[in-house]
Every structure is written in structure tokens, then in C-alpha cells.
A and B are shown apart, each in its own frame.
Chain A
Amino acid sequence: MIENFIKLKNLNWLFIFLVSFLSFVGLIMIYSATIGEESKIFISHIYKILFGFFLMILVSLIDLEFWKRNAYFFYLIGLILLILVFFYGYLGKGARRWINFLGYNFQPSEIMKIFLIITLAKFFDEKKIREPRDYLFLILPIILVTIPFVLILIQPDLGTAMLILFVSIVIFFMSGINWKFFFFSGLCTIIITPYLWGGLKVYQKKRILTLFNPESDPLGSGYHIIQSQIAVGSGGTFGKGWTKGTQSHLDFLPEKHTDFIFSMLGEEFGFLGTLSVIGLICLITYMAYDITGRFIHNNFNRMVGIGIISNFFFASFINISMVIGILPIVGLPLPLVSYGGSSMLTYFIGFGIILSLDRNQS
């Protein structure tokens, strides 16, 4: 017990503050997004933040060794959940992503990201690739990535699937394998892209195509991109003021409390607001880098850290990029800011692991 208190005292409270601050930004944006509607969403979000915070502290007290030991086990659980989703998943917004867990709708693909990161880290930690023939081993991690990737892709959840791919690439890269591997993988990707394209749903294809020319279909799939850009652009330098966004409050902006919350932030708090949030994201990312960077000799810790922080960073980057028209609308929440329980809890757990890393070091 006393031991735990010491652990608590030694936590990186600055990092905790930054993470909390980002979720506080989310809270005030969700307040604005749901103003005038029923307050259920806002209240539920407060509970989720509090629960997530608790979870983060709890996880921070767990040593990394625990994760390393049980990595494959967790991976198996994640996989089973994803398969359950495939058969028994709850259908919403044209996708089968959620399963009901003790009365709560839960999205297994979120937690699977953490489990995959740990599993890959464990794999690369144990199997060091030194000789060219070692590359045969790569078949195993590729399969480890491919199974959840495909399961998530067919839900369909393009955003999370892409994120899993990005994060996996980062871990592969950090494992130190030869760059030629990435070169050939890239080549393969280019070759199979046309076949993948054929496998995409019509609405996904449309979304990707309208990214390049949103005005071509202003009332169809381009509508979201256009309205989101209008919201962000019309915010100007200082924004229209909290709860004063016209695009958001007059329902021109879709999904304003989830995927498009950043657009609303841009509209109500302007360039200063968006830049501050980006700054905050960068600061959290940098601090996490700084923490993981100390584990130069501990491959597992380092790869878990970089994997988790890349998960956070790329999710943020993809979300912001899609709402301002750099990437297609793939449907991915902004970490800690968007409304959505599974995603937020996963990021809190992730930051808990980072905190645990930091504690191990000190």
C-alpha cells in the first residue's frame, strides 16, 4: 500500500496535467456541441473522463513486465472480441463495430491497438533480426497485424484499420529491420492497391474521390468536407466564441461532437485555438518520446512507448487532416477530445503505460 503511494508520488504529474488538459478541451467542446440538446451526452462524457483518468493512474502503477508477460494472451482476447464483433456486433452507422459489454457498448478495435502494439514489441524484443535469413520470421508479425487489420477493415472501419497499419509500420521500423523490407513492402502495396480499391465499399471510394475535388458533389459526400472547411475557415484568428459557432450550432457541421469536433473548435476558437490544441498534442507526443527515448537498451519498453505514442499522434493527425481536407473522411475520433468511450479509455490506458514507463525509469 505504502509502496503504491510512493509510486503515485513519483508519477510524471506534468504529463498527467497535459493529458487532462487535452481532455478538458474535449469537455468544453462537447458542452458547446450538446448545448440546447439533452445534457445526457455531456454528463456521460464527464463520467468517461473520470473513469479514464482512474484507469490511467491504475495502469501507471502496473509494471511493464506484466504486459510483456501476458502480451500474447491479451492479443488472443482482443482477437476473440473482434471475431465476436464480426458475428454478434451491434450495428450502427452502417458498420458493425460495437459489442455490448455489461450494458455498455464497447468497441474492441480500440483496445486491440494497444494489445497489438504490446504483442509486436514482445515479438521483436525476443526475435532479433540480424541475418538475412531471419526475415522469414517476419511472416509471423505480418500475420499478427493482418488478422486484426482485416477484421477491422470489414466492419468496416477504414480509419482504425489504417491507424493499425501506420502504428505497425512504425514498430516494424523501430525494430531495426533493414529498410529494404519497407521498400519491397511499399512496392507490393502499390501493386495490390488496385485490388484493395476494388474491395472498398462504394461510400468509402466516394469519400476518397471527393477529397480531391469536394466541390464536385457539394450535397453528397463532399458536403461534410466542405462544411467542415467552412466551419474551420470562418473561425478566423480568434474564432466566433465558445458556443457561438454558426456552422456547428445550426447543424451544417455533421458529427460535431465526435469526428468533427476539431472543426467546431476551429470555428469557435479560431486559429489560436486550433494551434494551441496542435501544440498540446505535439507537447504530449514530445514528452512521451522523451520518456521512451531513455530505453535505448530495452527494446520492448521502447517499442511499446513509441507504438502507443504513435497511435495517439497518428489518430490526432488523421482526424485533424480529414476535417480540414488533407485526408479523406475515414471516420476516426480525435483522441481525448471527441465523444466516444472506447477510444478515450484506450488512450488513457495508453498514457497509463507511458506513465508506467516513466516511473520505471525514475
Chain B
Amino acid sequence: MNREINHEKKIRRRTLVIGLSKTFFMLLVSVKLFYLQILQKSKYGKLSDTNRIKIKILYPERGTIYDLYNNEIASNKIDYQLSIFKDKKNLINRYINKLKGHINFSDKDLEEIKININKQDLSDFITIKRNLSWNDLEFFEFMKNKFPFLLITKEKVRNYDNEMIFSHVLGYVGFNKNIKKKKLSNLKVGISGIEKKLDSKLLGADGWIKFETNSKGIVKKELNKKFAIPGGNIKTHLVREIQEKAFNEMQGINGAVVMIDCKDGGVNCLYSSPSFNNNEFSDGVSRERWNELISDEYNPLLNRCIAGLYSPGSTYKLITALHAIENEKFGKNQTYFCSGHIQFGSRKFHCWKKEGHGKLDLHGAIMKSCDCYFYNLAKKIDIDKLASFSNKFSYGNVTGIDIPNELNGIMPNRNWKIQNRGEKWQRGETLNSAIGQGFMLSTPLQITLMTARIATGKNIIPSIIYKKRNFERLNISEENLNFIKKSMFSVVNDNNGTAYNSQLTGSLKMAGKTGTSQVRKITLEEREDGVIENEKLDYRLRDHSIFTCFAPFDDPKYSLTVVAEHMGSGSKVAAPISKKIMQSALKKFT
């Protein structure tokens, strides 16, 4: 009996043990549920959203850039792109192999895919092919069901209708290397030129679409979307016809063409030769092509207009002359005899015309571009004063044009020589500087600006972006300016002028100045044996041909400079090109 009671107790005890362990099990489950659903709710909520919600970034349409006459010079084209869900990226290779027979994947495409796969950005899609053709699109329309994780999207990408023509001034767009905006890895930003300078205005703001997809990656519905805000449009002073003319005239010639509107400082033309195709960059340039461009001996990516440095040569004589009569009380009627060279100290300084110009006054010296006259004039002036006067005409300073990477060139003076060469200034160097040779270096834009400021007597500041502006007068006497301008008139219109062959046809007159920018030093021996003709020299050692001018003479509208690298004297190449460009510009104007 006792045993029975013991047994009964045991059973009760064991029932309790089982009951308690079950209670413990359910408590365990409840605690885990509390942990999952209450404590970790936000974590799992997010995970469930990442499962189902796929984000596609909508890239904004870049603002359009217009020329002065409202022609589109940078616009956008539709680009059909093929993308894949990011979490299905392990399928990419299989898909590409399947697609290969139907869609052409270039090496560039494959290279791009490799980069895109590893991009950490906001989008849940990876672009695997840009620039789909109509055939490609048709193919996908039929095969949609076989590739459930692929998506065709329509993007707007930068397109330059006049490729090559505006490449330097407009610049180009490319993928963002900025870490801050890395979240939008497919966003193209301005890399150079206007595109870079006004990037924030042109860019716009991105939007997105949120899709709901199931576990197989099939899009069930569009949840919501934020439209991209297109970038702002920009109007410029550039004129397509002039830019095109410059492009055509500079075929086969390296150099620069810069034209500035003397009325408002607008840059009508800024063309650097050789050019490059900026659409290539907009589509995404391949590494090989990039290396090819970088290592090209003529450096097509360099914007020679603002970053090409040349000795201004004889064009600088205008400033030397103006300085002399304005500040040094140098008489306009002062004459010197040019025998082809002058002796200064122990050195002999040569005129470009070996047999000499004979007796000349200042007007004649400018017209005929006599070096000897200016050597003599230079003996009377001080380099520091000349340099500070030249600064008024932008030499040695950046002009402040509204595109990046402008160089300021060199306007030497005593201080500069000591700082940069560690030597004292030699008097003879003033002679070289007076004719725009020696240490002096300037950009084609600076030369153009000099001409514009002489033509108007105003402190013109160049601008590519369209603005209406007025400029203050330079503190220089009208009489002296007119003297220089008349001399420039004679250069082109007097039959003794160096650019007589390049005078305009028609009633409007042009005034200008030739320049020949020496690249090499002519040795004493060579002088005695006769200077080697330009054509016989190695290309790299030939002189640069420079011409700067303004027109119409009576009411200056355009100021223009043409630099033709290694093409010999200014009168031979740069002046005839200037004439053609000026002629077409004036046709547009009148």
C-alpha cells in the first residue's frame, strides 16, 4: 500500500516535471518571438523591404547649352540601357554568354560591366550595356520572358551635335569620381570646360523609382517614384558658325582661334586645334582610347586658347609702343634707321628683315614690324614699368574667363627674373621683351584681350556664359590709342603693311598685327651663314604664326587672334585665316 502511495507521488512529480519543461519550452519560444518581433522589428522590417523593394535611380537630364543664336550646342540623346538586378549579379556571365549571339558586347562593354559589378551605389540595378540598337530592343521584346532579371531603361545622355567643334570650350562629361556622390555611380558630371564650371547648374537632381519584386525578381508593381529634376539650361556667347569656320580653317594646323565681342566681352569663338570628339567621353571613353589621347604628341586634350603658352612676338610691339608714348613721353615722330641689326653692348640684335627697313617712324615701325626700331625704343624704357603697364592688357595675369584651367603666362620683370632664374635682369633682355620674345609667354586669349582693350580702350573681361555687361575705361589717352589703332589699320590696309594680303573684301575694314613667335635660339654662326628657312627646319623648331586683329575699324565689334603653331611668319598663315574668320563673323553681324 505504501508502495502504491509512493508510486502515486512519483507520477505526480513526473507529471509536474513534464508540465514545467513544456512551460519552459514555450517561454523560450515566446522570448525569441519577443526578441524578433519587438526588439529587432526595425532590423527585420528593413530586411524585408530590401527583399522586395528594388530602387532604380533616375538620372536627371543635363541642362542644354545654347550658342548666342540659341542653337543647341550641347543637348541630350535617348540611350536605351540594359540593366540587371544587383542581387542576381552572379547570373551576369551566364546571361552574357546567352546573349552574345544576339547582342554585341565589345571589350569596352565587358570592361565596364566589371567595374559596375563592384560599385557600391544606391541603385539595385547594374548597367550591363549602353547604347542598345533598335535590333537589340526588338530582340528583348521577344525574349523578355527568358531573362526575367533584366530590365531595359531609357536614359538621357549628353550628346554634342557638333562633335569636335566645341570640345575644349564646352568640355565633356564623365563618370563621377567624387567620393561624396559615389552613391550615384552612373551620374555623369562635367569634367572640363563649361560642363565643369557650371556643373551644379547643369546637373539637376536625381530621382528614383521603387519597384516591388517577388523572390524571383519579377517586378510586381511600381511602388512610388520621384521624378528627376532636369538641369538648368545655359546660354553662351559662342557662335556656332564662327566656331565651325575656325574648325574648318584650322584643319591640319595646330593652334588656337579666339574671338571676343568688343561690345560685351562675350567669347564668340574659342577653338583649340587639334580637337577631340567629346561625344566619345559622354558615351564613356575606353582606357585604350584615353591613353591614346593622352600620349598623342599634339596633345589634343590641351585647350591651347587658355593654356597654350606662346611668345606673343611682334603682336606685343603694340603694348611696347603704347607704353612708350603714353608713359615715357616717347615722340611718335622719332625716327630710327634700321640696317638689319643693332649693336647693344657686346651683343648684336637682329631685325627679322636681314637687309633692314631703312628710316622709320613709330607708325612705320609697327606697320612693317621693324625689330630694330623697337630695340632702339627699348633702350629708353624700364622693364618693370613696361611689365606693370602690360598687366593692364592681361599679360601675366589670368583673364578670369569662365572655364577652368586657365594659365597666366609670364610677364617678366626684374623681380620675376631673380625669383625664377636667380639672376639679375640684363638690359639686353628688355630689348628682347620689347618685341615679345625672350621670357615672355602668353595665351591666345590674352593676346585677343589685348587687342579688344586697345580697340575699345575699355577694361574688357571675357565671358563665355551669356551676360550683358559694361566695362570701365582704361586710363589711357584716346589720342595714343587711336595712334596705335591707326598703325594696326596700316598693317592690314597699307600696301607696305605686313598683313596687306589679308585685308577684308568689302566696305568694312580690319586692323591687326602680325607676330612670329620664335621657338628656337638662332646662333651666331647661323646668322652669318644665313638664317635657315622655316620650311627646312624640323617641325618642332619652326616659328609660330600669330595674327591678332579687330574689325570693323570704325566701330570695333570683334577682336580675333589666330595662332598657328610652327607655321612660320604671322602674315603667311595666321593673317589669311583671321581674314576668313573675321569675314564670316562680320557677315553674321551685319
List chain A positions with a Cβ less than 8 A from chain B: 130, 170, 173-174, 176, 227, 229-237, 246-247, 250-252, 266-267, 270-271, 274-275, 278, 281-282, 285, 289, 293, 296-297, 302, 306, 310, 313, 317, 320-321, 324-326
Q: Does B521 contact A (CB under 8 A)?
A: no
Confirm or deny: B543 has a beta carbon within 8 angstroms of a beta carbon on chain A: no
Closest to B41 in A: A236
Task: Give A145 to B355 CA distance when docked, in angstroms.
Answer: 126
A174-B14 in contact (CB<8A): yes
Query: A233 contacts B37, CB within 8 Å?
Result: yes
Note all chain A residues with C-beta closer than 8 A to B26. Answer: 278, 281-282, 317
B178 at the interface (CB under 8 A from A): no
**Contact between chains at A324 and B33 (CB < 8 Å):** yes
Contacts of B40 in A (CB 8 A): 233
Number of A-B contacts (CB under 8 A): 123
A271 touches B10 (CB 8 A): no
Q: Determine if A271 and B38 form an interchain contact, defined as CB atoms under 8 angstroms apart.
A: yes
Q: Are A251 and B30 in contact (CB under 8 A)?
A: no
Q: When the two chains form their complex, are residues B28 and A271 in contact, meaning their CB atoms are under 8 A apart?
A: no
A250-B220 contact given A233-B44, A234-B47, A324-B29, CB 8 Å threshold: yes
Partner of B52, one of A246, A266, A293, A297: A246
Q: Which residues of A contact B29 (CB under 8 A)?
A: 278, 317, 320-321, 324, 326
Decide if A289 touches B212 in the complex (CB within 8 Å).
Answer: no
User: How far does the alpha carbon of A343 sit from the alpha carbon of B220 in the complex, in Å?
Assistant: 35
Complex Cα distance, B216 from A326, in Å, reads 27
Q: Known contacts A237-B41, A266-B37, A285-B22; is A250 also within 8 Å of B52 by CB? A: yes
> Whole-angstrom distance between the alpha carbons of A197 and B40 in the complex?
34
Is there contact, CB below 8 Å, between A326 and B32? Answer: yes
With a CB–CB cut-off of 8 A, which chain B residues contact A232?
33, 36-37, 44
- Chain B residues contacting A227 (CB-CB under 8 Å) are 51
- A230 engages B15 (CB within 8 Å): no
Tell me which residues across on chain A come within 8 A of B143, comparing CB atoms.
none
- Check if B215 is an interface residue, CB within 8 A of chain A: yes
Give A5 Cβ to nearest chain B Cβ, in Å: 34
Cβ distance B310 to chain A, nearest Cβ, rounded Å: 64
Residue B34 CB within 8 A of the other chain: yes
On whether the beta carbons of A176 and B36 are closer than 8 Å, the reply is: no
Can you identify 15 A-B contacts, CB atoms within 8 angstroms?
Answer: A176-B11, A229-B44, A232-B37, A233-B48, A235-B37, A246-B51, A251-B215, A252-B215, A271-B37, A278-B26, A282-B23, A293-B15, A296-B8, A321-B29, A326-B29
Quick one: CB contact mask for B142-178 with A, threshold 8 Å, 1 for yes?
Answer: 0000000000000000000000000000000000000
Of B14, B28, B41, B213, the contact of A233 (CB 8 Å cutoff): B41
A-facing mask of B202-217, CB < 8 A → 1, else 0?
0000000000111110
For the complex, give the distance between the alpha carbons of A320 and B32 in Å: 10
If over half of A's interface residues share one DSSP class (helix, strand or loop), that class is named, otherwise mixed; here it is helix
Point out which of A227, A246, A267, A302 has the most chain B C-beta atoms below 10 A from its C-beta: A246
Smallest Cβ-Cβ distance to B25: which chain A residue: A317
At the interface, yes or no: B400 with Cβ under 8 Å from chain A?
A: no
User: Contacts of B18 on A, CB cut-off 8 Å?
Assistant: 170, 173-174, 306, 310
**Is residue B540 within 8 Å, beta carbon to beta carbon, of the partner chain?**
no
How many of chain B's residues have a CB under 8 angstroms from any CB in A? 40
Q: Is B181 an interface residue (CB 8 A)?
A: no
Q: How many Å lie between the Cα of A297 and that of B4 in the bound state?
A: 9
Across-interface contacts of B45 in A (CB, < 8 A): 233-234, 236
Q: Is there an interface contact between B28 and A275, defined as CB atoms closer than 8 Å?
A: no
Complex Cα gap A189–B82 (Å): 58
**B interface residues (Cβ-Cβ under 8 A, vs A):** 3, 7-8, 10-12, 14-15, 17-19, 22-23, 25-26, 28-30, 32-34, 36-38, 40-41, 43-45, 47-49, 51-52, 212-216, 220
Tell me the complex Cα distance, A321–B32, Å.
9
- B51 & A230 in contact (Cβ 8 Å cutoff): yes
CB–CB A271/B34 < 8 A: yes
Distance (whole angstroms) from the CB of A157 to the closest CB of chain B = 22
The answer to whether B51 touches A250, judged by C-beta atoms less than 8 angstroms apart, is yes
Cβ–Cβ < 8 Å partners of B36 in chain A: 229, 232-233, 266, 324
Residues of B within 8 A of A229 (CB): 36, 44
Measured between beta carbons, the chain A residues less than 8 angstroms from B43 are 233
B214 lies within 8 A of A275 (CB): no
Beta-carbon nearest neighbor of A128 in chain B: B7
What are the residues of chain A within 8 A of B214 when measuring CB–CB? 250-252
In the assembled complex, the CB of A166 is this many whole angstroms from the nearest CB of chain B, namely: 11
Shortest C-beta distance, A277 to chain B (Å), equals: 10
Q: How far is the CA of A347 from the CA of B575 in the complex (A)?
A: 104
Q: Chain B residues near A274: list those with CB within 8 A.
A: 33, 37
With contacts A321-B28, A324-B32 known, what are 14 further pairs, Cβ within 8 A? A173-B14, A174-B14, A227-B51, A232-B36, A233-B40, A236-B38, A250-B52, A274-B37, A275-B30, A289-B19, A306-B18, A317-B25, A321-B25, A326-B32
Q: Is the CB of B11 within 8 A of A174?
A: yes
Cβ of A231 and Cβ of B37 under 8 Å apart? Answer: no
A174 to B220, CA, bound (A): 55
Contact A250 B213 (CB under 8 A): yes
Q: Which residues of B contact A296 (CB under 8 A)?
A: 8, 11-12
Residues of A within 8 A of B51 (CB): 227, 230, 246-247, 250, 252
Contact present for B15 and A306 (CB under 8 Å): yes
Counting chain B CB atoms within 10 Å of each CB, which of A250, A252, A274, A320 scores highest?
A: A250
B50 and chain A: residue at smallest CB distance: A230
Residues of A contacting B22 with CB < 8 Å?
285, 310, 313, 317
Q: How far is the CA of A250 from the CA of B52 in the complex (A)?
A: 7
Set of chain A residues within 8 Å of B47, measured between Cβ atoms? 230, 233-234
Q: A232: shortest Cβ distance to chain B, in Å? A: 5
- B213 contact set on A, CB distance < 8 A: 250
- Report B-chain residues with C-beta under 8 Å of the C-beta of A285: 22
Chain A residues near B8 (CB-CB < 8 A): 296-297
Chain B residues lying within 8 Å of A270, measured Cβ to Cβ, are 37
| A149 to B106 Cα, complex, angstroms | 61
CA distance A188 to B379 in the complex (A): 116
Q: Residue on B with the closest CB to A274?
A: B33
How many Å lie between the Cα of A285 and that of B28 in the bound state?
A: 17
> For B15, B29, B49, B216, which residue has the most chain A Cβ atoms within 10 angstroms?
B29
Chain B residues within an 8 Å CB radius of A170: 18
Task: Report the bound CA distance from A297 to B11 in whole Å.
Answer: 10
- Let me know if B215 and A176 touch, CB within 8 A: no
Q: Give the chain A neighbours of B44 by CB distance below 8 A.
A: 229-230, 232-234
**B424 shortest CB reach to chain A, Å:** 75
A61 to B216, CA, bound (A): 50
Contacting residues, chain B, for A326 (C-beta < 8 A): 28-29, 32
Evaluate contact between A275 and B33: CB separation under 8 angstroms.
Answer: yes
Shortest Cβ gap from A282 to chain B (Å): 6
Among residues of B, the one whose C-beta sits closest to the C-beta of A247 is B48
CB distance from A301 to the nearest CB of B (A): 12
Nearest residue (CB) in B for A232 is B36
Which residue of chain A has its CB nearest to the CB of B19?
A289
Q: Which residues of A contact B32 (CB under 8 A)?
A: 321, 324-326
Task: Give the CA-CA distance A271 to B30 in the complex, in Å.
Answer: 9
Contact of A246 with B48 in the complex, beta carbons under 8 Å = yes
User: Does B48 lie within 8 Å of A230, measured CB to CB?
Assistant: yes
CA distance A234 to B43 in the complex (A): 8
Contacts known (A250-B220, A252-B215, A325-B32); A176 close to B10, Cβ less than 8 A: yes
A252 vs B216: C-alpha distance in the bound complex, in angstroms? 9
Q: Collect the chain B residues with CB atoms within 8 Å of residue A233's CB.
A: 36-37, 40-41, 43-45, 47-48
Q: Which residue of B lies closest to A169 (CB)?
A: B18
Q: Taking CB as reference atom, which chain B residue is nearest A310?
A: B18
Q: How far, in angstroms, from A44 to B215 measured CA to CA in the complex?
A: 27
| B46 CB → nearest A CB, Å | 8
